[in-house]
Amino acid sequence: MSAVAIVFAVLLVLVLLALIHRARLIRRFRRAVAAQHEAYRRGNYQGQLQAAETFKRSAPPAYLYFRGGALLELGRLQEAEECLRQSSWWRYDLHNSALCEDQLGEVLLEQQRYDEAITSFASGIPDWPQRGGCFRGIAATLLRQGAQKAEALRWARLAVEIDKTHNGIAAGDHDLHPGEARAWNLGQSLAILAWAEAVNSGDAKEVERRLAKAFTLCPETAVPARAQVHYHAGRAWSALGKTEESASQFQRAASLDPHGNYGRLAKAATP
C-alpha cells in the first residue's frame, strides 16, 4: 500500500471516529434535555436545577438557559436574570434567542419591572414570530399592570391565533411530542385570553369556553403549564366578580405546584 493510500485510510478512520463521537454527544445531549424537561414537567424544580448541571461544561448556553428557568420557578429571580442575560444562545440561534427573551421577560415581570419585561418580550418576537409565547407575555404584563386592557386583549388574541396556526416547537423541546408542546403553548395562551376577555367584555360564557379548552390542552401531568392555567383562570373569574370560582382556581394552582412560580402567585392571591 502506498504512503498516500495509508494517509487517506488514516484520515478516513479519524473522520469516522469523529462522526461517531459527535453522534454520541448528540444522544447524550438529548437525554440530558429530556431529563431536564421531565423534572420540569413534574414540578420538581430542584431536580431540574440539578439536571441543568449536565450542560455546564458541554453546552454552557444551554446550561445558563435551563438553570435560569429552574431558578425562575424557585423564586430566585436575580440569579435567574443573571443566567439568562449571560446565555449566548441569543447570539447564534434565532429560536433560542426568542426563548431566552421570553423567559427573561417572565423574570422581569415577576420583579414588577413591567416596561423592561415588555421590551424583552417584544425583542423576542422578530426572532420567532410563529410562536405565541412573547405575544402572551406582553398581554400578561399589561394585565398585571391593570392598564391598557384593550391592548392586552389584542396581544392575547394574537398569541392564540399564532399558537393555533403554527407548531411552536422549541429547539430544546425535541423530547416532547410536537402535539404536546403545541398544546401547552396554546393552552397557556387561551388562559391569558380568557383573563383579557373577562377584563374587557365581562362575557362569562366566553371566558368559560376559553378556559375549558385550556384545561383540556394542559393536563395535570404538565404541572407548571396546568398551574399557570389555574392561576389565570382565577384572575379571570376574579375580574368577573365570581369570588368562589376564583378562590377555587387559586387553591388548585397552589396545591398542584407549591414550589413553582404560579403556585406561589396563586397562594398569594388566595383570600
> CA–CA separation, 63 vs 162, rounded Å?
29
Taking 70 as the threshold, does the pLDDT of residue 60 lie above it? Answer: yes
> Is the per-residue pLDDT at 270 higher than 50?
yes
pLDDT(175) > 50: no
pLDDT > 50? residue 173: no
139 C-beta neighbours (distance < 10 Å), count: 28
Chain segment 196-254, per-residue pLDDT in tens:
999 999 999 999 999 999 999 999 999 999 999 999 999 999 999 999 999 999 999 99
d(CA 151, CA 72): 27
Higher confidence at residue 98 or residue 152? 152
Question: CATH number of the domain at 3-269, out of 3.40.50.300, 3.90.600.10, 1.20.1250.20, 1.25.40.10?
Answer: 1.25.40.10
What is the end-to-end Cα distance of the chain in Å, rounded?
84
Cα–Cα distance, 247 to 174 (Å, whole number): 36
Q: What is the pLDDT of residues 18-50, one digit of tens each?
A: 555 455 545 656 676 777 888 999 999 999 999
Residue 168 pLDDT level (bands cut at 50, 70, 90): very low
Phi and psi, residue 257, nearest 5°: -130, 65
Residue given cell 453546552 in the structure block: 59
pTM above 0.75, yes or no: yes
